Structure 1
């Protein structure tokens, strides 16, 4: 039977952890795959994946995926925060001002291609400040906090749909889950 490689022979979580510790110790001491080079030259051997590399393309890993050598030596991912919020939709006005598209609360131009949301003030205090990137249940991609809602709203976000009034009407008002780091 041909060998399946060293990663296939590691079956239990305890043996994976032991292998991880041993390999890390070798990298720190400069003995593994570096020919005895120091720790400074080791950093040149660890590169991050390109942005479009699919799932796991960030520079962090979760401890459940230790069988991927490309992800083995990245920093652990910070825990993602999740929150159930009311989600509404908003669009640019039908008539454009002479200056172009509207601006968010922090001065960012909200063009039709921008994936932006407005958050209620209590969510800013909860960690969803300016330029925070988050994912929205039911929508693809990541959105960025670029606008602020009126103070009367609580646990509410407004999703910017550019000029697409029909999509905004289809979205309506929902209770969804958002997550961010």
Structure 2
């Protein structure tokens, strides 16, 4: 009876340790960074030839939560299709566009055709969170 209790206790401890290790792996895979955040629109003058097609050839559609990233952020895993949470904004955004080479440490939140909303947004410093759960 004592041996069985010891085995059960050992199994329980090992299970708890396995859960703790897996939680650490998940936490370690999430990344955060503070970036400059601006906004952009799908209008001529703010985009290339077709304002509804992003840099990686993704067609943007109304209602999507999309961001563009400065190219220096791509080395951190913020590439086409990456999912990003943005401090102060609800929901999850998808990286679908990239910015001109001159920009560094910056994201651009897509605001469709609403230029007034984008101008009101201005420029902010915000924390972004991304990374896959394992």
Unaligned runs of 5+ in 2: 1-8, 45-49
Unaligned runs of 5+ in 1: 1-17, 26-61, 64-74, 95-99
Question: 1:107 and 1:20 mapped to 2: Cα distance?
Answer: 52
Could you report, residue by residue, the CA deviation over 1:71-108 in whole angstroms, capped at 9, with x for unpaired residues?
A: xxxx63622210010001001117xxxxx861111111
Identify if the C-alpha distance between structure 1 residues 126 and 22 changes in structure 2 by more than 3 Å, giving closer, same or farther: closer
Q: Pick from 12, 27, 31: which aligns with 1:21?
A: 12
Compute the TM-score of the two structures, normalised by the length of structure 1.
0.55
1:86-97 alignment, distance < 5 Å: 86-93=36-43
Richer in strand (by share): 2
Which residue pairs with 1:67 in the alignment?
none
Do residues 135 (structure 1) and 85 (structure 2) align? Answer: yes
Which residue pairs with 1:30 in the alignment?
none
Count of aligned positions: 112
The offset of 1:138, in angstroms, is 1.3
Q: Pick from 92, 102, 121: which aligns with 2:71?
A: 121
- Check the 8 A contact 1:112/1:163 in 2, yes or no: no
Structure with the greater alpha carbon radius of gyration: 1
Could you report, residue by residue, the CA deviation over 1:103-151 in whole angstroms, capped at 9, with x for unpaired residues?
A: 1111111122111111011100122111100100111000011001011
Q: Pick from 57, 76, 81: which aligns with 1:107?
A: 57
**Higher relative contact order by CA 8 Å / sep ≥ 6: 1 or 2?**
2
- SS of equivalent residue, structure 2 residue 125: strand
Compute the TM-score of the two structures, normalised by the length of structure 2.
0.72
